[in-house]
Amino acid sequence: MRAVVFEKVGKAPEIQEVTLEAPCAGEVKVKIAGAGVCGSDLHVQRGEWELPMPLVMGHEGSGVVVELGEGVTNLAIGDHVVLSWVAPCGVCKYCKLGREAQCALVASVVAPEGVLHDGTSRLSRDGKPYHHYLGVSSYADFAVVPASGAIKVRTDAPLDLIALVGCAVATGVGAVKNTAKVPAGSTVAVIGCGGVGLSAVQGARMIGASRIIAIDINPDKVALAKTLGATDSIVVARDADPAEALRELMEEGVDFAFDAIGHPSTTEAVIRMLALGGAAVIVGLPRVGATASFEPLTLAEADQRILGSNYGSIRPAVDIPWLVDQYMDGNLKLEEMVSARRPLEEAASALADLEKGEALRQILIP
């Protein structure tokens, strides 16, 4: 099959002919309908995360089940699925507690080693093993994934578009709904109006936040955030302080501030945005080793919190179908977040456009 392969830092990803083995026990093969281009893919391309190479890129995707591995009973050939890069093992402490986004197997084996649940890969080229990216590798014609990472959804939803639910939308909406548990009537600020930030804005609208402030350096992105639910928008210069700009609008600060960028400066800014009793939620992912600072005395005296949000603290089998239903019911907007649909061969260009800040969510169509 065709797949977008990343071999080493400094070399652009390229289309290659790759061998994909049949699914093993507990796995399924999915024909990819759409794969979202995510900021996390840029971390790989920049070499900011330590991952084994070569790997087949892509962790946001959707498609149709075309083959079942031994023992798979919860899915059938022809099912429409959204791929979850957290495919819960179901047996670790965190999965048993209902905290699948923290699955120990995914965190310790699948993600860092570029393999599936059994510790091996289904990908190769000329006999040389290739690695899976976050257990998905959706920049390809097909993917073999654990069955728990192929989430069955309704068949009347547009199959390529709902790929976004597999990462950006689940992460952003989930950060509001699950991680922070934002109550209706709260005030919310979101730094970064990419796919995750725009989804956080929508999540805040969906729960009934009284005021939602979208912050970005790109005026077009904050304008889009206004159409998706933001009540206020702030365009900041690249070297300006977002917290200072927020305080000019709301002197008392906000109840919840979301960092959808994941840079130390934006993390520090959301902490400084908080009102008394507020919570800063770190959603965007930084490079390995990045650190941020805050004043502990202020945090303690103001009874504030700092929360980390991995994958929106979602339960994939529960939250992903719910999000698709929300889209189909008109409560969640997805098409507005898509800046382009591109063929798989344009993956490198799509990543370059994302790097330059010239694109929102792009969908690769095999």
* Residues facing 16 on adjacent strands: 3
Which pairing describes strands 232-235 and 254-259: parallel, antiparallel, or unpaired? unpaired
Q: Is residue 29 part of a domain?
A: yes
pLDDT at 288: 86
| Same structural domain, 179 and 101 | no
Task: Note if 193 is an active site residue.
Answer: no
pLDDT at 47: 84
Q: Is residue 110 part of a domain?
A: yes
| Same structural domain, 131 and 180 | no
| Same structural domain, 162 and 106 | yes
Task: Note if 40 is an active site residue.
Answer: yes
From the list 92, 95, 167, 193, the catalytic residue is 167
| Same structural domain, 197 and 108 | no
| Same structural domain, 280 and 223 | yes
From the list 38, 89, 103, 193, the catalytic residue is 38
Task: Note if 131 is an active site residue.
Answer: no
Residue 266 lies in domain: 172-309
pLDDT at 325: 98
Q: Which two tokens stand for residue 133?
A: 């990216």
**CATH code of the domain covering residue 66:** 3.90.180.10
| Same structural domain, 159 and 46 | yes
Q: Is residue 264 part of a domain?
A: yes
Q: Is residue 303 part of a domain?
A: yes
Q: Is residue 130 part of a domain?
A: yes
Task: Note if 43 is an active site residue.
Answer: yes
| Same structural domain, 268 and 129 | no
User: Cα separation of 273 and 280, whole Å?
Assistant: 8
| Same structural domain, 213 and 343 | no
Q: Is residue 320 part of a domain?
A: no
Which pairing describes strands 305-308 and 274-282: parallel, antiparallel, or unpaired? parallel
**CATH code of the domain covering residue 293:** 3.40.50.720
pLDDT at 314: 97
pLDDT at 3: 98
| Same structural domain, 289 and 242 | yes
Q: Is residue 193 part of a domain?
A: yes
Task: Note if 117 is an active site residue.
Answer: no
| Same structural domain, 124 and 211 | no
Number of structural domains in the chain: 2
**Do the Cβ atoms of 284 and 195 come closer than 8 Å?**
no
Instruction: Judge residue 252's burial from the number of C-beta atoms within 10 Å of its C-beta, 0-12 exposed, 13-18 middle, 19 or more buried.
Output: exposed
pLDDT, one tens digit for every residue, the chain (366 residues): 999 999 988 888 999 999 999 999 999 999 999 999 988 888 888 888 889 999 999 999 999 999 999 999 999 999 999 999 999 999 999 999 999 999 999 999 999 999 999 999 999 999 999 999 999 999 999 999 999 999 999 999 999 999 999 999 999 999 999 999 999 999 999 999 999 999 999 999 999 999 999 999 999 999 999 999 999 999 999 889 999 999 999 999 999 999 999 999 999 999 999 999 999 999 998 888 899 999 999 999 999 999 999 999 999 999 999 999 999 999 999 999 999 999 999 999 999 998 887 778 899 999
| Same structural domain, 122 and 192 | no
From the list 43, 263, 265, 349, the catalytic residue is 43
pLDDT at 50: 84
| Same structural domain, 236 and 275 | yes
pLDDT at 39: 84
pLDDT at 339: 92
User: Cα separation of 162 and 82, whole Å?
Assistant: 7
pLDDT at 44: 86
Q: Is residue 316 part of a domain?
A: no
